[in-house]
Structure 1
């Protein structure tokens, strides 16, 4: 029997400031730093110090600051969201809300719990320009320090996305691909929902030739995902003009 878990999406709060000598320049500096913070997704690359070391399973944690006020935490089993305030280099993050999906990976679940406890203990932040990519540093109450590397968001590159829902079958199938001999393609079909959030219809199954950023398919697991679909005005040769980014896993079940 399939075991199903539903996830809900919320958005939290995020902003940033940097101290400068006068009020006018301070306001300008705050706006510029906030813009820089929001144009990138921040992936954890290094952890230093702290009373309790962060588990290796937390190595893919990502922080995404949105709308000048929202913080979204991904890279674990569930996504988390929380409110924060910042004054100068001081950072305060409130209690995090989490989706309620269960994972079979106990180490990942343990890492998620620790991250959920640690982030509200954040005290300082600093944004630095690096030659390769910008770097965000967050300091915590127990002395732990996170370094996170910034990657430009698709929204920055391609603009506002469409929102689409796809059901992804448990098993990929052989498919013809001009650049990949013996290719295996995900099997997907579009899904629509009514105003009450109830499933309305599903399309025909078809091969999916592209990639979904942030999504990792596991054989034997069926998913319904909500995606951001961006249009690339200059796609590479033999590539789709669409760029897909995982927004949320709506439903998942293990097929036996």
Structure 2
């Protein structure tokens, strides 16, 4: 399976052949299957359809936890599966800690396998690049499914995959793609609003230099900078968005954090090249 990749304004797209070139989609001949897992569960509970998953925990084979840093605007490490993790095959895209990536995936007897992946090529601070490199390295081999279960909260399912090196990666299903995960109840005092997000982020300085969204609440209003994250939003450079968000006030925020929190409810529209 080949996958056309658009050039991103954030950086040139390159094939990560040195890391993932040896992989192939699950339908290709000769792809090894994952070793037997304690409890394979990709066929449980959900119909096929797009789904979005966040990497929330990485336990290494020796029992230590690998830190999972977030992006400049708080972006988590996410995988978006075009047909859900239950599907026989599909396309995967997401944010790997520093860059965005796209590729293919397929279901095998006891887990999931990733095909060739391409991504943007940006430099980030060392901890994010180290996490990204380790993730791409792990994706060279199939992940075996340790288990799938409901989350403790309303976000959807959790899945734990085991890498060939024995690391355990825990992903939690998130809202924001395909309506697959339920939206949590709105906290007291929350308000909903519609915002526009410009097609490019810009350099800005908060506590430290970072990249900010340009946002506005009306088509004729001037653009303003948004220094925080938009939780559940997966931004693609070169695309302008119209979003419905939930805004809440944060009591006693850290000194380096905003007192306002935005959570994505839905993407109302998006358009390229603006």
The two structures have a TM-score, normalised by structure 1, of: 0.53
Q: Deviations over 1:74-128 (max 9, x none)?
A: 141111223222134232222322211222x122212211111112223312321
Q: Indicate whether 1:188 and 2:214 are aligned.
A: yes
- C-alpha root-mean-square deviation of aligned residues, in Å? 4.9
Q: Which structure's CA Rg is the greater one?
A: 1
Shift of 1:213: 3.7
- The equivalent of 1:137 in structure 2 is 160
- The equivalent of 2:82 in structure 1 is 66
Cα separation, 2, equivalents of 1:61 and 1:211 = 13
Q: Indicate whether 1:56 and 2:82 are aligned.
A: no
Unaligned runs of 5+ in 1: 15-28, 174-185, 191-202, 217-222, 251-256
Cα separation, 1, equivalents of 2:135 and 2:237 = 26
Selected match of 1:43 from 55, 65, 76 = 55
Higher helix content, 1 or 2: 1
**Residues 149, 158 of structure 2: 8 Å contact kept:** yes
- The equivalent of 2:19 in structure 1 is none
Q: Indicate whether 1:207 and 2:220 are aligned.
A: no
Cα separation, 2, equivalents of 1:107 and 1:45 = 15
Query: Closer, same or farther in 2 for the Cα pair 1:90/1:57, shift >3 Å?
Result: closer
**Residues 167, 224 of structure 1: 8 Å contact kept:** yes
Count of matched residue positions in the alignment of Structure 1 and Structure 2? 190
**Residues 143, 164 of structure 2: 8 Å contact kept:** yes
Query: Closer, same or farther in 2 for the Cα pair 1:189/1:129, shift >3 Å?
Result: closer
